[in-house]
Structure 1
Amino acid sequence: MNKDFLIKDKQTQSINVLDVLKYLLSNWRWYLLSILIFGGYFYYQYNKTPFLYKSSQTVMIKTASNTISSSRITRPNNIYNSVNVNSEILQLRSKELMRNTIGALDANISYKRQNGLRTLELYKTSPFLVKFVDANPNMPQEFTLKSLGKNQLELSEFSNQEEAGKPLVVALNQTVNTPIGKVIITPNPESKYRVNVSEPIQVSKTPIDAMVGYFLSNLEIVQMEDVAILQMTMEDTSPMRAAEMITNLITVYNNMTINDKKALGDTTANFIRDRIAIIETELSGVESQIEGMKTSNQGLDVKSAGEQYWSDSRGYDASSKEIETQMKLVEIMRQRLDDPSKRDELIPSNTGLVDQSIESIITEYNTLLLRRNRLTAGNSSENPIVQDLNTALNALRDNISRAVDNVLTGYRIKVRNLRQEENAAIGRARSMPAKQRMMLSVERQQKVKEELYIFLLNKREENAINQAMTDDNIKVIDSANTSNYPFYPSLLKKLALGIGIGLAIPTAILLLILMLNTKIRYRKDIEDNISVPLVGEIPFSTDLKTAKSDIVIKEQGTDEVTEAFRIFRTNLGFMSAGDKSQKVITFTSFNVGAGKTFSVINLGVSLTYLKKRVVLVDLDLRKGTLSNITKFPMPIGATHYLSDSAITVDEIIYKDRVDANIDIVPIGVIAPNPVELLLSERLDRLFVELKERYDYIIVDNVPLGIVADADIVNRITDVTIFVVRAGKMDRRQLPDIQKLYSSGSLTNLAILLNGVKFTNTGYGGYGYGYGGYGYGYGYGYGNRKKKSFFQKLLGR
């Protein structure tokens, strides 16, 4: 035997991917079972899960504030521009708006029927409509409705009943007392079902606040790029309800914004009305004063003197009147801004101020105030967007105040200068009577008040026109579009998920078993780690458990165990390479239960099929497993021969105990000093005589390493067969076998791998499995029972 070998640097080689794949594929039955289980589960979930539909529409935000600009006033940090679209989205997602929309559609009342495992929503298609007259709005209500024909219904399964009560039989269009309160049930004229439909319908009324959370969680609003266009999507179990929800959401929102604009118009109208009443009173007083002066002057023409001087003063006077009119408006605005009680009210706009910078920032302030008020109605004041709007409002109000002060100061300077010029002109007319000067002053007051009065009347009409032309804030570009096909659940996705999990779980478990299992299972585990020759593989068979004898091979057998021993026998012939002196074959192992005795007996029987003379020698003096395989008495054995020189070899050889063609040397009795007996020269003499009589002497030795017996017996051994039991011996013991082989401690050491399970795995094998020779090998134990489908599935 050639002992030149290369000891591998690593005792454990990395697992080959192809081998792992073969290992996994060999367990295809578990994959099939797992896929059937998980695929069936997800198919069941698919049929049980309600369908979900999507409805989407595109809208555009229309706001006048997008065009507001001012050459004099700078918006603080462009806060308004940055929060505009986000503010609109937040308002559309507000709880108050959603609450009003649900209430308008009665979307919190649902009608459902069972279709197999799945529940179907009957929104607007239920044959009956239920009105809950006095139900608690904060408590969920539920019952089952079934038509009995002839306008009669059966009500049962009420939500607040602890025990199932007797069903109620009621009539249509009648107020009925039920355990959940009074209800009225009427036919639905829009239903596609007949009124006398007999299938049960589950009616439920959910608190609106609970439905607000449901619809808000299913509502998605996305801004398209950087424009004021929003894509709104609603998911629901009813395609019709999803479409109506997003459609009516915009309708309710536009109604709210229109009401806000009307409120602003009403505030402005009230302000103009109050100012007109005040001016009318003042103008009446001035006109009465003029009338009195003319009466007291007895018709004197006050314009007959100083015509030229007053001509100059009138020009200054006209300019000052115009400015004083503006000052009046600005002062009124100043008083309103300084009034703390009106700080959170809208500031009247479009009041006729010449300075458009003030008008534009007031319009911007009012728009932002309305948005802030709508947000605080449905959200906390701690909302970041609300706080940003409050900051912007304070900054804008401060800007308005500063602008008013600046404009008022400028007007006063202009009026003072004009008055100085006017007074200079009047001074040149000192010769004019005092009454003439008084008349001019009164006429000037009359002129100012007349112009202001006419101006306010014009503004009142403009405000009325603006109120009549109030427009929506949001315009629908693409109306709600709903597909009649559900997007969830998807049968293909469910089955794919089931198949994926069905593949993943067995793979994970099998790989975990593969990684945690350090036992030797296949010849590859040996060949990849050590260089000790492997002379054979004995396959595992469940039929061995039921065998009546330890001899399981047949001379003409075609089973895989018999064939395995033929290969083992052939490989032993190659090891001897024609050397007929190598007759003693010793079996040993590391572990008890490795199958030494089984291998010894069946190898011996296999050799007899070649007409070889074979004797089995039991040198396991401590246990004597080989000697216990037969019920026939064998009173004298090896211990007697080794301890008593009077005993001859013929006395310890028994025939027909194991097989008709095999002789056996038993141990005799359990010896108290087996080491001393094995060291005896009579052991050498025994094997000399046995070699003269037999072609093969097969020795059943004790396990190696437990006691010194195995090392002692090695002196009479020609070939040592180290039996490794697949699934029993740890791979970490392989280096110890390599050391024995490298040091030559055991003569002509070779490994026999016993109990290999080829049928349940392809990992580590070479694809033959003793079934690939074309002989149709079974196990060779006669007629076998036909396996059931489940036995085939489980590989049993």
Structure 2
Amino acid sequence: MQTNKSTVNKDEQGINLVDLLLYLASKWKWFLLSVLICGGIAWYRYASAPLIFFRSATVIIKDPSNKTSTAGLDRYDNFINKVNVANEILQFRSKKLMREVVSRVHADVSYSKKDGLRTDELYTQSPVTVSFPDATPEQQLAFTVTPKDEQTVVLSDFAGQEREEEYTAGLNDTLSLKNGRIVVTPTNFYGKNWYKVPIRVQKRSLEAMVAYYQGSMGIRQEEEEASILTLSLKDLSAARAEDMLNMLITVYNEEAIKDKNQIAVNTANFINERLIIIGEELGDVESDLESFKRDNQVVDISSSASMYMSETQKYGADAMELETQLRLAEYIKDYLTDPRKETDLIPANTGISDMNIESQITLYNTIKLKRDRLIDDSSDSNPVVEELNNSLRAMKQSIIRAVDNMVVSINVKRNDAQHRERRAQSRVASIPAKERQMLSIERQQKIKESLYLFLLNRREENALSQAMADNNARVIDGAEGSDAPISPSRNRILLLGVLVGIALPGIAFLTVLFMDTRVRGRKDIEKAVSVPFLGEIPLDKEAAKRNKGKKETLAVHEQGDDIVSEAFRILRTNMTFMAKKGKAMQVITFTSFNPGAGKTFISHNLALSLVYARKRVILVDLDIRKGTLSRHFGKHVNGVTNYLSDPTVRADDIIRHMEHFDIIPSGTVAPNPAELLMDDRLDELMDELRTRYDYIIADNVPVGLVADAAIANRIADLTIFVVRAGRLDRRQLPDIEQLYENKQLKNMALVLNGVAPHRRGYGYGYGYGYGNGYGYGKKKK
């Protein structure tokens, strides 16, 4: 027995490495199974994985620092051929370059055959080549070509078709399908060895293959300041990898020369085009200057301005004079048409330029004066006066018509004078604009002439630079490499499979171990509580399987050297250390937190162990609600409840004599179990049993669920609290500690029941050593 008062006050120690190793070693069957499965998967992956080859090539990027200079032309060479290594690396990786390489090598069409579990790439060793005249770069096709004889092949297994179809086609013939036309051409390898050998043909998307090779290609600059690059490529075919690298360098140099020449050619074309345009523009500017002077009749801008000013003044004076005449004519007309001045004389000599009107006005006034004199000498009815009145009226109408005609004539003349004045003014106003236009034309003439001369010089310089364009890259080492594949690596894959096979169950078991909050072993209890620990009862799985569905609870044998028997012997021994001085320890009660902890099993087998130690033992079933212990020994009518409820019942009336020990069953189920257990007859019964037996083992109810356990605990000399491994949560252990510290149960001690064999002992994997073939007693046969 061991108390844990000092243990719980110390720093808790975690599970050590040896414990973990022993715990994992107990699961060796799972590890072996996992290793076999993962190893098998790894072997299958190795056997089915395609072979990958590695090729590399070394090039030097040319620049003025590693080229022989040409006397007198270095400055042009440095400008045209100078390169940046980082930029060239990015160009090697460009999609445009790789797209051209894939198209030239036809790397988007692959030929493969099955070799066991592995698929081998044929590339140029394929007996046939397939072309797709109608296929677009992004179209994807996959089918199987099987050579049938010298002239025909069979096409089958088309990808994406629900119905399997086969086509027989002649070599070099065009086969029209719904996906387009297909032409199968034999190669030099075509022969009898390939008859009935399926060849898988796959046309992949051009962009997909470009992305694949971009990801498979590596470029390394040998030194930071060096311009030497190592190009590497991984591929399913070593020959194709070499062709891809060599073609990449070739296309790169072609593009470099093309770019440089294109720049120079474009520059030359641009200069020539601009010379033609500038020449035409220069001629046009000079023609514009000539046309401007001719159209505007301008030789000297200053003399033209003076002439236009004189015309403006002249036409302005004419317009003013005509405006005055118009005003006078309108005044005379208004006077003539005014009814109030019907009998008045018409003003004369008003300044009207029309002398005819003036003479008519004078004649009118003369006749009117004559009429007025006749009226004074006679009356208005005088025939002469009447005739004069008629003449005056006719003359007045004639004057009005003459004035109207004069107004119209003056308006025409005035508008013409104003128009001429405005035209003269506009010419004067246009002098600055014409002067500006003429200066602009002359300025354009000078600009065009300077630009024309500049382009002539640039044309000669561009012709010189075009002649000096050179490749960017020079091959140091062509594409080469080992014929052995770099992948898959058998040892690495198998080792990885074994490691995964070990890691998976290890991680799973450790995860379960560290996430499990249930009590699994003695160590879990000792770290959390200070309650005296009497022992642990191991779980005998074989016995549990044998007794499955039975009520058999006996696991202790008199001469047994099994671990369960030894565990009860240790429990029996440790109980003696719990006896208090001066007081015999006879009454032992069992309780727990939850049903199913194994109280009945332990009490039954402890009683049997004590009997084998030559002790008088009686079992008392104090679980008067369920009578779990009583059910293991058959049906009994009288028991504890009958004794407690009926004073006439004696102890001998309820004691049942069994093969090894006596028992007192729970009796008839009572409606008031708590009140019965509080009766003094329970104490009287225990006092009488103390005189007859060495040990009274009472199987009590779980504590906390009902009050029975706390009520009946007064009779106990030792209270054994049973904890079931794998069922009690470690978070409930502080509640057990509280029961112990508050002394709610008399002389409390712990027993751990149902411990897995590999967990027995202080730590994981540390056992008692009382197993078969090792310990006290003889080895079982």
The 10-residue stretch of structure 1 (642-651 or 175-184) with the greater mean CA deviation from structure 2: 175-184
Structure-1 separation of matches of 2:271 and 2:764: 101
1:535-568 CA-to-partner distances (Å, cap 9, x unmatched) read: 2211113332542422232223333222222222
- The change in CA–CA distance for 1:3 and 1:349 in structure 2 (over 3 A counts) is same
Q: Structure 1 244/573 Cα, relative in aligned 2: closer, same or farther at 3 Å? A: same
SS of the residue corresponding to residue 689 of structure 1 reads helix
Contact 1:56 1:233 in 2 (8 A): yes
- Say which SS state the counterpart of residue 123 (structure 2) adopts: coil
- Matching residue of 1:148: 148
- Alpha-carbon displacement from aligned partner over 1:126-178 (angstroms, at most 9, x marks no partner): 1222233444444223321112233332122234645212x222333444444
State how far apart, in whole Å, the 1-side matches of 2:527 and 2:4 are.
17
Query: Considering only CA atoms, is the larger Rg found in Structure 1 or Structure 2?
Result: 2
Q: Structure 1 CA distance, aligned partners of 2:266 and 2:648?
A: 137
- The residue identity in structure 2 corresponding to 1:216 is Q
Residue of structure 2 aligned with 1:594, choices 593, 597, 603: 597
Shift of 1:199: 1.5
Q: Where in structure 2 are the equivalents of 1:537-576 lying within 5 Å?
A: 537-542=536-541, 543-547=543-547, 548=550, 549-576=552-579
The residue identity in structure 2 corresponding to 1:532 is V
Structure 1 counterpart SS, 2:124 = coil
Q: Using a 3 Å threshold, how does the CA distance of structure 1 residues 715 and 562 change in structure 2: closer, same or farther?
A: same
2:336 counterpart of 1:219:
no
Question: Residue type matched to 1:648 in 2?
Answer: R
Partner of residue 203, structure 2: 205
Kindly report which structure 2 residues correspond to 1:230-245, keeping only aligned pairs within 5 A, or say none.
Answer: 230-245=229-244
Identity of aligned residues (%): 45
Cα separation, 2, equivalents of 1:131 and 1:733? 77
1:342-384 deviation per Cα after TM superposition (whole angstroms, max 9, x unaligned): xxxx9545589xxxxxx8xxx4xxxxxxxxxxxxxxxxxxxxx
CA distance in 2, matches of 1:764, 1:228: 65
The match for 1:637 is 639
- Does the residue aligned with 1:124 lie in a helix, a strand or coil? helix
**2:671 corresponds to which residue?**
672
Deviation at 1:737, TM superposition (A): 2.6
5+ unaligned residues in a row in structure 2: which ranges?
Answer: 274-447
Q: What is the rounded CA distance, in whole Å, between the counterparts of 1:9 and 1:336 in structure 2?
A: 102
Secondary structure of the corresponding residue to residue 671 of structure 1: coil
Amino acid at match of 2:593: F
Range moving further from structure 2, 532-541 or 669-678: 669-678
718-727 vs 87-96, greater mean Cα deviation:
87-96
Q: Is this contact kept in 2: 1:11–1:530, CA < 8 A?
A: no
Tell me the CA shift for residue 476 of structure 1: 0.3
Q: Which shows bigger deviation, 486-495 or 474-483?
A: 486-495
Partner residue of 1:432? none
| 1:433-470: CA deviation from partner (whole Å, max 9, x where unpaired) | xxxxxxxxxxxxxxxxxxxxxxxxxxxxxx8xx58xx7
Counterpart code for 1:206: R
Choose which of 652, 655, 663 in structure 2 pairs with 1:653: 655
Deviations 1:372-419 (A, max 9, x none): xxxxxxxxxxxxxxxxxxxxxxxxxxxxxxxxxxxxxxxxxxxxxxxx
Q: Aligned residue for 1:23?
A: 23
Q: Which amino acid aligns with 1:636?
A: N
C-alpha spacing 1:662/1:53, structure 2 compared with 1 (3 Å) = same
Indicate yes or no: 2:706 matched with 1:707: yes
Please state how far the C-alpha of 1:10 moved relative to its aligned partner: 7.1
2:128–2:190 contact (8 Å) kept in structure 1: no
Structure 1 residues 60 and 178 mapped into 2: Cα distance closer, same or farther (>3 Å)?
same
C-alpha distance 131-6 of structure 1, shift in aligned 2 (>3 A): closer
Partner of 2:124: 124
Which whole-Å CA distance do the structure 2 matches of 1:162 and 1:199 have between them? Answer: 24
3-state SS, counterpart of residue 728 of structure 1 = coil
> For 2:81 and 2:696, how far apart are their aligned partners in 1?
103
Decide whether aligned partners of structure 1 residues 147 and 70 sit closer, same or farther in structure 2, where only a CA change above 3 A counts: closer
Report the 3-state secondary structure (helix = DSSP H, G, I; strand = E; otherwise coil) of the residue aligned with 1:537: strand
Residues 111, 605 of structure 1: alpha-carbon distance in 2 compared, 3 angstrom cutoff: same
Tell me the SS of whatever aligns to 2:229. Answer: strand
Q: Do the aligned partners of 2:80 and 2:260 also contact (CA within 8 Å) in 1?
A: no
CA distance in 2, matches of 1:332, 1:123: 63
SS class of match (2:119): strand
1:157 corresponding residue in structure 2: 157
Local SS of the residue matching 2:478: strand
User: Does residue 604 of structure 1 match 2:721?
Assistant: no
Unmatched tracts of structure 1, length 5 or more: 275-330, 340-345, 353-358, 364-462, 784-796
SS in structure 2 of the partner of residue 32 of structure 1: helix
One-letter identity of the residue aligned with 1:228: S
Aligned equivalents of 1:4, 1:172: Cα separation in 2 = 91
Tell me the residue number matched to 2:283. none
Alpha-carbon distance in 2 for matches of 1:616, 1:160: 79
Distance in 1 between residues matched to 2:79 and 2:11, nearest whole Å: 71
Q: 1:622 to 1:772 in 2, by over 3 A?
A: closer
Please list the CA deviations of residues 678-725 of structure 1 after superposition, one character each: whole Å capped at 9, or x if unmatched: 233322221222111112111111222223332333332222211111
Q: Is the 8 A contact 1:158 1:179 kept in 2?
A: no
* CA positional deviation for 1:669: 1.3
After TM superposition, the structure 1 stretch with the greater mean CA deviation from structure 2, 510-519 or 646-655, is: 510-519
What SS does the aligned partner of 1:110 have? strand
Q: Provide closer, same or farther for how the CA distance between residues 63 and 79 of structure 1 changes in structure 2, counting only shifts above 3 A.
A: closer
The 2-side partners of 1:579 and 1:598 are apart by: 31
Distance 1:674 1:182, change over 3 A: closer
AA in 2 matched with 1:646? T
The structural deviation recorded for 1:763 is: 8.9
**What code does the residue aligned with 2:53 have?**
Y
Distance 2:270 2:135 in 1: 46
In the alignment, which of 335, 339, 342 is matched to residue 452 of structure 2? Answer: 335
Q: CA deviation at 1:753?
A: 1.0
* Structure 1, 721-730 or 542-551: larger mean CA deviation: 542-551
Q: Kindly state the Cα deviation for residue 57 of structure 1 after the two structures are TM-superposed.
A: 0.8
Q: Counterpart of 2:587?
A: 584
**Contact kept? 1:718, 1:748, Cα under 8 Å:** yes
Asked if 1 retains the 8 angstrom alpha-carbon contact of 2:7 and 2:527, the reply is: no
Distance 1:766 1:93 in 2: 59
For the residues of structure 2 that align with 1:97 and 1:210, how far apart are their CA atoms?
14
CA gap of 1:87–1:69, structure 2 versus 1, over 3 A, is: farther
Distance 1:517 1:617 in 2: 36
Contact 1:564 1:770 in 2 (8 A): no
**Residues 621 and 79 of structure 1: CA distance in aligned 2, closer, same or farther (over 3 Å):** farther
Q: CA deviation at 1:662?
A: 0.9
Map 1:294-693 to 2 at 5 A. 334-335=451-452, 347-350=458-461, 363=465, 466=467, 471-542=470-541, 543-547=543-547, 548=550, 549-576=552-579, 581-631=584-634, 633-656=635-658, 660-693=659-692
Q: AA paired with 1:214?
A: Y
Distance 1:603 1:8 in 2: 29
Letter in 2 for 1:555: E
Distance in structure 2 (CA, Å) of the matches to 1:269 and 1:704: 105
Answer with 234-243 or 740-749: which moved more: 740-749
Number of residue-to-residue matches in the alignment: 602
Cα pair distance change 1:212/1:545, threshold 3 Å: closer
Residues 732/267 of structure 1: CA separation in 2 closer, same or farther (3 Å cut): closer
8 Å CA contact retained: 2:171, 2:186: yes
Q: Which amino acid aligns with 2:602?
A: S
What TM-score does the superposition give when structure 2 sets the normalisation length?
0.68
Deviation, 1:594, is 0.9
TM-superposed CA distance for 1:248, in Å, is 1.3
Is 1:256 aligned to residue 258 of structure 2? Answer: no
Contact 1:125/1:192, CA 8 A, preserved across alignment = no
In 2: Cα distance, 1:668 partner to 1:749 partner: 27
- Assess if the C-alpha contact under 8 Å between 1:113 and 1:201 holds in 2: yes
* 2:140/2:202 contact within 8 Å kept: yes
Q: 1: CA distance between counterparts of 2:528 and 2:147?
A: 79
